[in-house]
Amino acid sequence: MGQEQFSDILNLLRLPKPRNADVIPIFAQLEHDYPCNVENQIDDLTGVWELRWSSSNAPYLQVQPWLDNLQILLPTDNRAVNLLKLPAPLGGIAVVAELQIQPPKRVGVTFIRGGWIGPKFGLFKPKLLTNIKQEFPAWLDVTVLTNELRLSRGSNGTLFALIKRHDLNTSELTSSLSL
């Protein structure tokens, strides 16, 4: 039954706009059947993840065909980057964060800086980043984790489903951010 549920949710997440009514029951069942321990799954956690579904109504947490909503996780370096890649030639919006692994499933998040990352012009890539003074604790509970799928619950109660992007390179995506 488990492999079928993983296939079902991955197929749903590849649709342009997965429906809450389809995703939530499988999400809940996988959380129950396959609990995560991030400390034991650091290799699976590491990499580039694409947000494919969220329970949030915030526009930047919705799947859009014109926007790549990526999260680069580097837990062994205690770093992460949320990256909204806008259509060319606009660049993207990046937020750099520090991570603290808090087993069994929690990842503490402290936002450090964020802003606009421009498109590359030859060797030059403009950026406008500012420091962030985070006034509240933030965290993410990673509830299900494989090398293909990550299900999480945020500190505000939002549910997230992400697919790992093996075709994207963490170094290329973070090279201009001075992690």
Per residue in 63-105, pLDDT tens? 888 889 999 999 999 999 999 998 878 889 999 999 999 999 9
How far apart are the C-alpha atoms of 146 and 116, rounded to whole Å? 31
Confidence band, pLDDT 50/70/90 cuts, at residue 179: low
- Whether residue 2 is predicted with pLDDT greater than 80 in this model: the reply is no
- Cα-Cα-Cα-Cα dihedral sign, residues 153, 95, 99, 72: positive
pTM of the entire predicted model: 0.92
Question: Cα Rg for the chain, rounded, in angstroms?
Answer: 16
Strands 68-74 and 92-102: unpaired
- Whether residue 41 is predicted with pLDDT greater than 90 in this model: the reply is yes
Poorest-pLDDT segment among 12-26, 41-55, 117-131, 136-150: 117-131
**Between residues 29 and 60, the one the model is more confident about:** 29
How far apart are the C-alpha atoms of 131 and 37, rounded to whole Å? 31
Q: What is the mean pLDDT of residues 30-34?
A: 96
Amino acid at 12: L
Q: What single DSSP character describes residue 17?
A: S
Residue 29 three-state SS? helix
* Cβ atoms 5, 29 nearer than 8 A: yes
* Cβ atoms 128, 115 nearer than 8 A: yes
Q: What is the pLDDT of residues 108-119, one digit of tens each?
A: 999 999 999 888
Tell me whether the omega of the peptide bond preceding residue 65 falls within 30 degrees of 0, making it cis: no
